Amino acid sequence: MKEYMLLFRGGLDFATVSPEVMQQSMMKWMTWMDGLKADGTYIGGERLTQTGAVLSGPQKQLSDGPYAEGKEVVAGFIAIKANDLQQAIEIAKGCPIYEYDGSTEVQEIAKM
């Protein structure tokens, strides 16, 4: 069994979205994540606020957010268990983010 990181980018624009759409979206996330928890796939995860900063270069140059355009902003991540990349991709396909103009990046977590 391997572990994979699912990185969620984009999704709902929380500045303008209505409460109704927010609730519908939340319930879809909840249904999906409850499924992952029920079959033991889910390891853990968090959602991110858009408060933060970027440090870069040898000078440790500091820049405030937003550090990416809407669709590129990382909205959250979860770690899951899967047999291989193909299965991890199948799991990621169940995520509701695509309905809200978002994307998921699937990467294997390196294990010694």
Partner 1 sequence: MPGPNQHISQLADHLFRREAGKMVAVLTKLFGTENLQMAEDVVQDTLLLAFNSWPDKGIPNNPSAWLYRVAKNKAIDRLRHNRHLLNTDPENLTETHDQPLPDIDKPWKQELLEDDMLRMMFACCHPRIPKENQITLILKTLCGFSTIEIAKAFLIPEDTVSKRLYRTKEFFRNEKVTLNIPSVNELKNRTDVILNAIYLLFNEGYNATQSEYLIRRDLMDEAMMLCHLITKNEHTRQPEAYALMALMCFQSSRNESRLSPEGEIILLTKQDRSRWDRQLIEQGNHYMNQAAYGDAVSAYHLEAAIAFQHCTAKSFDTTNWPAILGYYDWLCRIAPSPFTAINKAVAIMQVNGPQAALDALQTIAGASKFYLYHAILGEVYTRLHDYASAKISLEKAIGLTRSAPEKRILQEKLYKLLN
- Tokens 């990181």 map to which residue? 5
- Kindly give, in sequence order, each residue whose CB lies less than 8 Å from that of residue 52, ignoring residues fewer than 6 positions away: 64, 65, 67
Site for partner 1 in 65-94 (CB under 8 A): 76
Determine, following the binding rule CB under 8 A, whether residue 63 of this chain makes contact with partner 1: no
Single out the segment in contact with partner 1 by CB under 8 A; choices: 45-53, 64-72, 84-92, 101-109: 45-53
CA atoms of 1 and 83, how far apart (whole Å): 5
CB of 100 to partner 1, least distance (A): 12
Determine, following the binding rule CB under 8 A, whether residue 39 of this chain makes contact with partner 1: no
Return residues touching partner 1 (CB under 8 A).
Answer: 14-23, 25-27, 29-31, 33-34, 45-47, 49, 76
